[in-house]
Amino acid sequence: MWLCNSSVGRKVVMSVTGVALILFLTFHACMNLVALFSKDGYNLVCEMLGANWYAVAATLALAALVVIHFIYAVILTLQNRKARGNNRYAVTSRPEKVEWASQNMFVLGVIVVLGLLLHLYNFWYNMMFAELFNAGMPYINEVEDAADGYGMIAYTFSQPVFTALYIVWFVAIWFHLTHGFWSAFQTLGWNGKIWFNRWKTIGNVYATVLMLIFVVVALKFAFCGGAC
């Protein structure tokens, strides 16, 4: 199967799963925007995404995307290290046009996964997981209902350490996306001398807007809780 056996095929898998994950992030950011305006509205979304079969199915699909993207990243990184050979250069330099993010996608990816684990523990574990296995009771005492996503956000970001960790996480995702976005289209063959600058600009703007939404929601709850 060329999607596992060939170098271009493996990259196609990275691109397609990556783009799908960007679409998910877009959905998630839209959802978070609701929390800026309406507590009831946000909790309505949370209820819809609780232990319903379609939400569970979508979660499994999403988990599969992350797992495939991550496993392929590990395989590609190991293969690339091997291709580099055993001898390292004594002197190296990074040409101007080579972005830092592009050479550190794996490290950034690991930070993203660690952040994801924290995020799942903070929210998903107390929400969908609690609805499925704990009769809708969150594992933390501060929030009473597993569908009270708004209360969960307010509680999480009332602790500065989580706010700080989430901001670091968002910055890592931003770096990861600034390279990943245009790189995905390059790998899929939809690129050229003109489209290169277009994809790069679209990617940078898209990643920045997306991550700003996440940051704004986190900061809003960090500084004025669920009150304002």
Partner 1 sequence: MAKNISFTIKYWKQNGPKDAGHFEERHMKDIPDDTSFLEMLDILNEELIEEGKEPFVFDHDCREGICGMCSLYINGTPHGKTERGATTCQLYMRRFEDGCTITVEPWRSAAFPVIKDCMVDRSAFDKIQAAGGYISVRTGAPQDANAILIPKENADEAMDCATCIGCGACVAACKNGSAMLFVSSKVSQYALLPQGRPEAARRAKAMVAKMDELGFGNCTNTRACEAVCPKNESISNIARLNREFIKAKLAD
Binding residues for partner 1 (CB under 8 A): 2, 5-12, 76, 79-80, 82-99, 102-103, 105, 179, 182-183, 186-193, 196
Q: Least distance (Å) from partner 1 to the CB of residue 166? A: 27
Nearer of residues 86 and 141 to partner 1, judged by Cβ: 86
Residue 23 tokens, joined: 């679409």
Nearer to partner 1, 156 or 183 (CB): 183
Q: How far is the CB of 175 from partner 1 (least distance, A)?
A: 14
Cβ-contact 105, 180 below 8 angstroms? yes
Task: Please give the torsion angle defined by the CA atoms of residues 108, 110, 114 and 116, in that order, rounded to the nearest 10 degrees.
Answer: 70
- From 36, 28, 100, 94, select the one nearest 66 (Cα to Cα): 28
Q: Label residue 63 left, alpha or beta by phi (over 0 means left) and psi (-120 to 50 means alpha).
A: alpha
Beta carbons within 8 Å of 73's beta carbon, 6+ residues apart: 14, 105, 106, 109
By beta-carbon proximity to partner 1, the closer residue of 40 and 96 is 96
CB 163 within 8 A of CB 222: yes
Q: Shortest approach of partner 1 to residue 5 CB, angstroms?
A: 8
User: Residue 70 or residue 162: which is nearer to partner 1 going by CB?
Assistant: 70
> In whole angstroms, how close is the CB of 2 to partner 1 at the nearest point?
5
How many CB atoms sit inside 10 A of residue 218's CB? 21
| Residue (140 or 188) nearer to partner 1, CB | 188
Shortest gap between Cβ of 21 and partner 1 (angstroms)? 17
